[in-house]
């Protein structure tokens, strides 16, 4: 288990020289995203509001800002009084035991629902919330606090800084409850001029590396040569999907202090052979050496009839047989029928983002070209490569390799979701 977590951290944890500190007001009327997880106590955790404000916090157990934020929320009077619900979702694969230890240490009151997600779905959910304001941010600076109002509309997303309980009570809760008199005059929380963060936005104790802020055993990738990036305080609280700096509305960036720590080089997963993907999304598949969409975003949008306010969005993640045993059984049967050997398996989805809401594109639409890097241990010069795609219901198709590069497989697929496997025979 530790090796699996280390591998996940190695591929996903990018320490950057500066942390983006952001507060974004989501477009009015943005429906809340709908995700379900299992809590560390075995219950169901939904991101949906149940008639009162809900705060969804995506965190990492080693993040000091997460400790400060969740600890402050946990001991707040508004949470104890039932004025809002809070769920905390660890999204980088820590075990239930590790998340439970975090809960018992920093949130012993037991008022927050905690989730330990090892499937990768929480990572995708975190990206979806970050993109809800229409941005194309590809770095996750923790904690990510998504705020949902009583009508189940997503109102605010704050990331990359400590968020205090008093700030929630003063600047956000009144609006989440429907009281338009809360906050400052221009409806921008956290500042007297609408742009400058207030007390809760000034980096304090939570932004200075402290106990557990620097990844320790099991969190620091081993055997890697440190790269040229020298992050400052809190930089280990940033996770990157395809290593492009995030830009969002109302962005405030703090300069890093003098203390620096070298970061390991993290390979990008959204480029293949130096070619970058054409489509915004969450590129999290680490069992292939890169994944990209080769069809232009404009062509996909045109072919699938997207409106001007809609954006193509792709999701690539490692496949979990434990989570989808039926899909794995269907894939095994398809591979056997082809008399082939299966290599890396991954989930690929194509959809669109509309005012922060993700919906899948139809699976019977026009071709979308994808390129995957083949891992070195699966490359064999005398073999023919292809990709098998299994869709809902167990139906599958064999997609031919369209290139002559022994290190990549290029194929055409369509919108919607599917399980894909590189095969050779």
Sign of CA dihedral 189, 194, 200, 205: positive
Q: Is the pLDDT of residue 185 over 70?
A: no
pLDDT of residue 26: 81
End-to-end CA distance of the chain: 32
pLDDT of residue 118: 75
The residue whose two tokens read 């969450």 is 282
pLDDT tens for each residue of 67-104: 999 999 999 999 999 999 999 999 887 889 999 999 99
Q: Is the pLDDT of residue 417 over 80?
A: yes
Q: Quote the mean pLDDT of the chain.
A: 77
Nearest CA to 200 out of 161, 172, 255 is that of 161
| Percent of the chain scoring above 70 in pLDDT | 71
Q: Cβ distance 133 to 249 under 8 Å?
A: yes
pLDDT tens for each residue of 341-392: 999 999 999 999 886 677 899 999 999 999 999 999 999 989 999 999 999 8
CA 288 to CA 424: how far, in whole Å?
15
pLDDT of residue 360: 92
Helix (H, G, I), strand (E, B) or coil at 267: coil
416 membership: H or E segment, kind and range: strand 416-424
Q: Cβ distance 342 to 243 under 8 Å?
A: no
pLDDT of residue 230: 33
Count other Cβ atoms within 10 Å, centred on residue 43.
10
pLDDT of residue 39: 93
CA 22 to CA 254: how far, in whole Å?
10
What value does the mean pLDDT take over residues 173-188?
63
Least confident interval from 148-162, 183-197, 346-360 = 183-197
pLDDT of residue 152: 94
Q: With b meaning 16 or more CB within 10 Å and e meaning fewer, what string describes 373-412? A: bbeeebbeeeeebbbbbbbeeeebeebebeeeeeebbbbe
CA 411 to CA 398: how far, in whole Å?
10
Nearest CA to 174 out of 212, 147, 196 is that of 147
pLDDT tens for each residue of 257-314: 322 222 223 334 688 988 999 998 888 888 999 999 999 999 999 999 999 989 898 9
CA 139 to CA 127: how far, in whole Å?
8
Q: With b meaning 16 or more CB within 10 Å and e meaning fewer, what string describes 113-143? A: bbbbbbbbbbbbbbbbbbbbbbbbbbbbbbb
pLDDT of residue 180: 53
Q: Is the pLDDT of residue 2 over 80?
A: no
Least confident interval from 69-78, 126-135, 215-224 = 215-224
Rg (the chain; Cα; Å): 22
Nearest CA to 281 out of 313, 248, 244, 316 is that of 313
């Amino acid at each position: 288990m530790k090796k699996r977590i280390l591998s996940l951290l190695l591929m996903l944890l990018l320490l950057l020289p500066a942390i983006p500190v952001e507060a974004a007001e989501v477009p009015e009327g943005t429906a809340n995203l709908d995700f379900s997880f299992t809590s560390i106590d075995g219950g169901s955790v939904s991101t949906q509001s149940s008639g009162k404000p809900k705060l969804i916090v995506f965190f990492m157990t080693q993040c000091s800002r997460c400790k400060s934020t969740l600890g402050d929320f946990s001991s707040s009077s508004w949470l104890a009084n039932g004025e809002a619900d809070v769920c905390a979702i660890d999204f980088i694969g820590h075990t239930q035991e590790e998340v439970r230890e975090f809960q018992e240490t920093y949130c012993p009151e037991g008022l927050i629902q905690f989730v330990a997600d090892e499937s990768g779905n929480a990572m995708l959910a975190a990206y979806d919330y970050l993109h809800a304001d229409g941005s194309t941010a590809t770095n996750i600076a923790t904690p990510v606090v998504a705020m949902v109002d009583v009508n189940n509309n997503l109102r605010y997303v704050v990331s990359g800084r400590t968020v205090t309980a008093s700030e929630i009570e003063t600047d956000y809760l009144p609006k989440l409850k429907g009281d338009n008199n809360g906050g400052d005059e221009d409806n921008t929380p956290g500042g007297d001029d609408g742009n400058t963060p207030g007390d809760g936005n000034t980096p304090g104790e939570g932004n200075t590396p402290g106990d557990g802020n620097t990844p320790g055993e099991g969190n620091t990738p081993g055997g890697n040569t440190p790269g040229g990036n020298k992050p400052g305080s809190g930089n280990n609280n940033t996770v990157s999907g395809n290593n492009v700096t995030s830009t969002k509305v109302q962005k405030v960036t703090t300069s890093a202090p003098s203390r620096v720590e070298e970061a390991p080089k993290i390979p990008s997963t959204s480029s293949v052979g130096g070619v970058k993907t054409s489509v915004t999304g969450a590129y999290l598949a680490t069992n292939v050496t890169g994944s990209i969409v080769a069809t232009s975003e404009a062509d996909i949008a045109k072919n699938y009839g997207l409106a001007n306010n809609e954006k193509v969005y792709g999701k690539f993640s490692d496949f979990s047989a434990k989570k989808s045993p039926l899909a794995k059984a269907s894939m095994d049967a398809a591979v056997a029928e082809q008399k082939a050997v299966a290599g890396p398996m991954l989930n690929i989805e194509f959809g669109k983002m509309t005012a922060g809401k993700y919906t899948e594109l139809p699976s019977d639409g026009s071709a979308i070209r994808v390129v995957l890097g083949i891992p070195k241990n699966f490359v064999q010069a005398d073999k023919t490569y292809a990709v098998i795609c299994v869709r809902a219901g167990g139906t599958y198709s064999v997609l031919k390799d369209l290139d002559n590069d022994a290190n990549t497989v290029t194929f055409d697929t369509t919108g919607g979701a599917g399980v894909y496997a590189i095969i050779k025979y």
